[in-house]
């Protein structure tokens, strides 16, 4: 007897709470193997192919390409075991959601299926969960079918609830009064959206599994409130599932494209464009804003004569062996400076009111890609020589441009090197990469007049800047760090003392 198992969007690690579906890799009715990638999603950090921990026939997919799903929301359902072929849907694959759930067999016997043990951060495939599928109300499927005829049917059915009688939306009873106890919400973004619009989540009935409140539920309620001239959100009720929910999401996207807001519905003058802050751009915005809020940063800078460093690099590359990149030499200088000034290789634990100093250097470096600014991390940079650093910088840069960086390669940095000179600028006051304590900025290296050995000469000059968290050290420490870096740039032989 086949059993229908539900595969939910797993925890992708590092505090990620949602992901956007970029591309489905399977169709309803396809046979999948254990650990076969079934969907490509984009988180705020990277593109990830999500493998399915079950083997069988795909009976349903939840979410269209471009939709955002919170962690824990259903991705797809798979029929496993003998008779799984009988779960191939006869209906059009476009009706993924409701049809598949109606086709589940609550009486299917419980069984455990062995997996490969492969793990994508946060979940494994050692075995399938041995639980009995809950019986869904008969009214659910019929309600979804009836509700698909008009987007307002669910709201109309909930109308009597205002008189103290529990309303019914899509076959699910909605309480007339706000319920006590925990609110079934997983995504912090859903909570923030509700909070920013003064929406009480306890007055909503979620359309997700087990009543989970999704972002679409909040957006539907806000649109309903705006359409009814500011009436209380509880009058809007819970919107229908399935097709109507997808139409609600499409309406939200259409409102953004035509220049209206999702909550207030105010028009935008012709020619203006609203661009959603989501994905990489949204993650960068949130992180920079948090850094500005929490970190009392300060910046110091100095000009340095990089002529000798450039000559040293040319001499290295003239010898046999892999070519050495300039950023690798700067990284080697950074790790040496951090060994002398460990205060800057730290973070502030605000809850414990402690400064945490790291005994390792995981060096992040800013990389501009088509998807936006990312900061890949070179692990244990302090233990690598110039050749190893060059190789790792090249690998991570290529992966960043191709969108193949994993969440683990984008997190865990303890110090950041920002070579903004590649953009043709001399100086900058960069924002500290939260929760780190400092960032070294390097401008372009250009010929400039410089007093060298008592005479005016044309030298290769670079501006160095250090932005640091003033909580971890005073200006003397920051100035000492930057001066040591400048000395190593001007006289690379200084590094020989610590090699």
Measured CA to CA, the distance from residue 458 to residue 6 in angstroms comes to 69
Measured CA to CA, the distance from residue 29 to residue 95 in angstroms comes to 12
Candidates 239, 360, 434, 470; catalytic one = 470
Question: What's phi and psi for 74, nearest 5 deg?
Answer: -65, 135
> If you count them, how many residues does the chain have?
499
Q: Centre a 10 Å sphere on the Cβ of residue 483 and count the other Cβ atoms it contains.
A: 16
* Residue 470 annotated to the active site: yes
Q: Centre a 10 Å sphere on the Cβ of residue 135 and count the other Cβ atoms it contains.
A: 9
* H helix or E strand, kind and range, residue 479: helix 475-490
What is the separation, in whole angstroms, between the first and last Cα of the chain?
A: 67
The residue to which tokens 């060298």 are assigned: 452
Using a 10 angstrom Cβ sphere, with 0-12 exposed, 13-18 middle and 19 or more buried, the burial of residue 275 is exposed
Q: Which three-class secondary structure state does DSSP give residue 44?
A: coil
CA dihedral for 79, 85, 90, 93, sign (positive or negative):
positive
Per-residue tokens: 421: 């000179």
All residues at 6 or more sequence positions from 252 whose CB lies less than 8 Å from its CB, including other chains = 216, 219, 223, 262
All residues at 6 or more sequence positions from 313 whose CB lies less than 8 Å from its CB, including other chains = 324, 326, 329
Measured CA to CA, the distance from residue 166 to residue 175 in angstroms comes to 5
DSSP letter for 321, please.
Answer: S
Which regions of 226-292 does DSSP assign to beta strands (E)? none
Alpha carbons within 13 A on the beta-carbon side of 471: 17
> Which residues participate in catalysis according to the annotation?
470
């Amino acid at each position: 007897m086949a059993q229908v198992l539900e595969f939910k969007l797993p925890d992708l690690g590092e505090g990620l709470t949602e992901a956007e579906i970029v591309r489905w890799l399977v169709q309803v009715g396809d046979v999948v193997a254990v650990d076969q990638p079934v969907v490509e999603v984009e988180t705020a950090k990277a593109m990830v192919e999500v493998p399915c921990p079950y083997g069988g026939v795909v009976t349903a997919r939840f979410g269209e390409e471009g939709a955002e799903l919170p962690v824990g929301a259903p991705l797809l359902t798979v029929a496993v075991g003998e008779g799984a072929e009988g779960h191939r849907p006869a209906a059009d694959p476009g009706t993924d959601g409701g049809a598949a759930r109606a086709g589940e067999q609550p009486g299917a016997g419980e069984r455990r299926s062995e997996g490969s043990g492969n793990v994508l951060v946060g979940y494994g495939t050692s075995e399938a969960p041995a639980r009995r599928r809950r019986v869904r109300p008969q009214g659910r499927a019929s309600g979804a079918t009836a509700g698909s005829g008009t987007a307002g049917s669910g709201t109309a059915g909930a109308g009597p609830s205002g008189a103290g009688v529990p309303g019914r939306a899509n076959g699910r009873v909605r309480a007339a009064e706000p319920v006590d106890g925990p609110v079934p919400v997983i995504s912090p973004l859903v909570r923030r959206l509700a909070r920013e619009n003064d929406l009480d989540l306890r007055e909503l009935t979620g359309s997700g599994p087990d009543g989970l409140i999704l972002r679409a539920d909040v957006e539907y309620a806000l649109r309903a409130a705006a359409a009814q001239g500011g009436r209380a959100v509880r009058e809007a009720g819970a919107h229908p599932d399935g097709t109507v929910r997808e139409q609600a999401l499409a309406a939200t996207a259409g409102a953004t494209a035509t220049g209206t807001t999702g909550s207030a519905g105010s028009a935008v003058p012709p020619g203006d464009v609203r661009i959603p802050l989501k994905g990489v751009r949204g993650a960068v915005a949130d992180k920079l804003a948090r850094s500005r809020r929490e970190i009392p940063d300060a910046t110091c800078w100095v000009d340095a004569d990089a002529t000798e460093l450039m000559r040293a690099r040319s001499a290295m590359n003239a010898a046999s062996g892999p070519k050495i990149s300039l950023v690798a030499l700067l990284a080697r200088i950074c790790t040496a400076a951090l060994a002398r000034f460990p205060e800057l290789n730290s973070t502030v634990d605000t809850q414990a009111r402690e400064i945490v100093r790291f005994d390792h250097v995981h060096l992040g470096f800013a990389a501009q890609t088509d998807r936006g600014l990312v900061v890949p991390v070179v692990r244990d940079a302090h233990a690598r020589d110039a050749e190893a650093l060059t190789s790792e910088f090249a690998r991570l840069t290529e992966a960043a441009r191709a969108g193949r960086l994993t969440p683990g390669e984008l997190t865990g940095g303890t110090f950041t090197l920002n070579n903004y000179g590649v953009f043709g600028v001399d100086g900058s006051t960069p924002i500290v990469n939260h929760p780190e304590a400092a960032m070294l900025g390097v401008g372009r290296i250009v010929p400039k007049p410089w007093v060298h050995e008592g005479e005016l000469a044309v030298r290769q000059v670079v501006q160095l800047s250090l932005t640091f968290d003033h909580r971890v050290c005073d200006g003397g420490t920051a100035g000492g760090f930057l001066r040591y870096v400048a000395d190593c740039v001007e006289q690379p032989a200084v590094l020989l003392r610590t090699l």
